[in-house]
Homo-oligomer: A and B are copies of this chain.
Amino acid sequence: QGTRDHPPAQAALRERLLSAVVSCFKRHGAAAIDTPVLELRETLMGKYGEDTKLIYELQDQGGELLALRYDLTVPFARYLAMNKVTTMKRYHVAKVYRRDNPATSRGRYREFYQCDFDIAGQFDPMIPDAECLKIVHEILSDLQLGDFLIKVNDRRILNGVFAVCGVPESKFIPACSTVDKLDKVPWEDVRSEMVGEKGLSPEAADGIGEYVQLHGGLELIERLLQDPKLSQNKLAKEGLGDMKLLFEYLTLFGITGKISFDLSLARGLDYYTGVIFEAVLLQQENEHVEEPLSVGSVAGGGRYDGLVGMFDPKGRKVPCVGVSIGIERIFSILEQRLEASGKKLRTTETQVLVATPQKHLLAARLKLISELWDAGVKAEMLYKKDPKLLKQLQYCEAMGIPLAAIVGEQELADGVVKLRDVATREEVRM
């Protein structure tokens, strides 16, 4: 349940998609690493908050207690700590596992690919963070998924907002997860969850509401830096200062047009400590809609400066920032688009079919195809002693093979091969 086989057409589309993402990661100088699908259970415990219950555990068959990885970030942090690596730019494309309620039509599975790019190390502020956003921008542009928006916020700014609105620190995390729902439900509902379920005072909720409904660019950052309440909060000030720096760098990259500083962005995971971001695709239903409709998150990430230290016996920290591309949702979109276009993706790369027009020529086919393979040519033949020429040409058409190399008795006698362009039926003897 919640898993799927990928038949050739899907596997081919997925390969193209993953290779586009990986080539962007390589363009930014990342090295690949690989970690086991299995992790010690204790490695995963206490990292995912409430979602810990979604971890697949292995049966105790003697030996270590194991679980399937839930994401690629925790294994990366474990890897850095275990190997005492303090600087690294890496990507990792691999499957992760979650015992979630699958919603396969929306691309939500229990086994799915993650494509992560992370930069670990102590550097000058916001330079790696800006690169992560540049990567999201490049990938979403390259894939031509349509218009998109990258929302950016900072956990320190959010916590500052909670603090100046009078929320006690113990309620920062619940308040945060409530704010996170603002992209799906209106403020009134978020407010009533804050006051009801989460036990915030109505005044605090109203105060938060004034901030978290704000979004904009540099001018909003400047305004909040002058905000009489927020500017008094140390964390918020730090976060806003870094946000300003980030926008300067994004301006140099020329991508601020698709970036929105959005105070409602919270992100679910506990381990973020600074900048957080999330990319959403926008759907313009028609030209007259004022607010473009969001069709869901396709990338996300942020800074997590404390996670590696959780795996180090001495608690030594390695600051990290990273991005995860939501490849499954993008895959669903591309698949639907391909289906709607009526186009078929080739599932093989065969360049030429070796064919014979008469009987008793299997030996000639085997000799020729062997020469082609040895010369690096992608070649196929039908696994029949005496196939009909028509069947052989139909196979080319069905599989999209552009050329047929035909050896008949005449060609054998003349020491040539007849090369036929399957689509145009043009033939040359060579």
Contact = CB atoms under 8 A, between A and B. Distances in A.
A385 B249 CA distance: 12
A128 B30 CA distance: 41
A252 B33 contact: no
A54 B260 CA distance: 52
B383 A123 contact: yes
A379 B29 contact: yes
Contacts of A29: 348-350, 378-380, 399
Nearest to A99: B61
Interface of A: 1, 3-8, 10-12, 14-15, 26-38, 56-61, 63-64, 68, 79, 82-83, 90, 95, 97, 99, 111, 119, 121, 123-124, 127-128, 130, 134, 138, 249, 252-254, 347-350, 362-363, 366-367, 370, 373-374, 376-380, 383-385, 399
A253 B370 contact: yes
A20 to B, nearest CB: 12
A26 B348 contact: yes
Contact of A373 (B27, B34, B68, B90): B27
Contact of A138 (B134, B349, B373): B373
Contacts of A90: 8
Nearest to A352: B29
Contacts of A249: 366
A61 B55 CA distance: 10
A111 B99 CA distance: 22
A31 B6 CA distance: 11
B6 A33 contact: yes
Contacts of A15: 32
Contact of A37 (B95, B374, B378): B95
Given A28-B379, A252-B370, 10 more contacts: A1-B63, A8-B90, A11-B32, A37-B95, A38-B111, A56-B61, A134-B370, A134-B373, A249-B366, A253-B370
A59 B61 contact: no
A101 to B, nearest CB: 11
Nearest to A36: B3
A382 to B, nearest CB: 8
B59 A34 contact: no
Contacts of A27: 373, 376-379
B111 A37 contact: yes
B124 A384 contact: yes
Contacts of A11: 31-34
A33 B5 contact: yes
A128 B384 CA distance: 10
A370 B141 CA distance: 14
A317 to B, nearest CB: 17
7 contacts: A3-B36, A5-B33, A29-B349, A29-B399, A37-B111, A59-B59, A128-B383
Contacts of A252: 363, 366-367, 370
A-B interface, 6 closest residue pairs, ranked by CB to CB distance from nearest: A123-B383, A8-B31, A29-B380, A3-B36, A6-B34, A31-B347
B61 A34 contact: no
A65 to B, nearest CB: 10
A124 B99 CA distance: 46
Contacts of A34: 5-6, 10-11, 14
A26 to B, nearest CB: 5
Given A1-B64, A254-B370, A384-B123, A348 B30 contact: yes
Nearest to A56: B58
A360 to B, nearest CB: 13
